[in-house]
Amino acid sequence: MSSKNDILNNVKRHISTQYDMPDLDHIAGIEYENKLEKFMQMCKGVGGDARVLAPDEDVNEVIRSLYPDAKVIVSNLPEINIATVNPDDIDDPHKLNGTDLGIIKGELGVAENACVWVPQNVRQKVVYFISEYLVILLDKSFIVNNMHEAYNQIKFNDYGFGVFISGPSKTADIEQALVVGAHGAKGVMVLLK
């Protein structure tokens, strides 16, 4: 028997009172009067940005104006015609190293923390993490108040993988200095349609 099991068994032996798990079904979480406004505010708060596209704006022109220096642009979205690489055509994910901009589709936004649920909708999920910058396209009608609501709505597709992305990657565990882009994109822009 392992020391972990010994410890757990000792703890169980010394518990004199058992308690039922609390009923969490009644917890609704925080709600916002204007979910879109809160989502956009939180996007900035976590170090990213968000913008609502006007009905007559061309998403490709907007992205090009935001990232004029991007040369390697990766996307499999049919509405994106500025992509230079389709990640579904790549067999080896290592070939996506050097991606300047990844353009992906989000399924659900969360107002309380600016998370966007992104089920794997590309063959090479490394796009979500290796891109220097990410643009996430999201339908503004799919913004929920909180993570309680989000967990009730998220779905996995055939790939069986998904991730919540909230702003650029950052860590402050290295010499107590904030490092942006350590584990993923240096910047994240959510474009809301």
Judge whether 165 and 136 are in contact, CB under 8 Å.
yes
Domain extent listing, the chain: 32-192
Place of tokens 């909708």: 121
Please tell me the distance from the alpha carbon of residue 105 to that of residue 168, in angstroms, as a whole number.
16
Per-residue pLDDT of 89-103, as tens digits, reads 999 999 999 999 999
Per-residue pLDDT of 46-72, as tens digits, reads 999 999 999 999 999 999 999 999 999
Per-residue pLDDT of 118-143, as tens digits, reads 999 999 999 999 999 999 999 999 99
Judge whether 133 and 189 are in contact, CB under 8 Å.
yes
Say which CATH topology domain 32-192 has: Rossmann fold (3.40.50)
Please tell me the distance from the alpha carbon of residue 106 to that of residue 142, in angstroms, as a whole number.
9
* More confident of the two residues 18 and 173: 18
The residue type found at 101 is: L
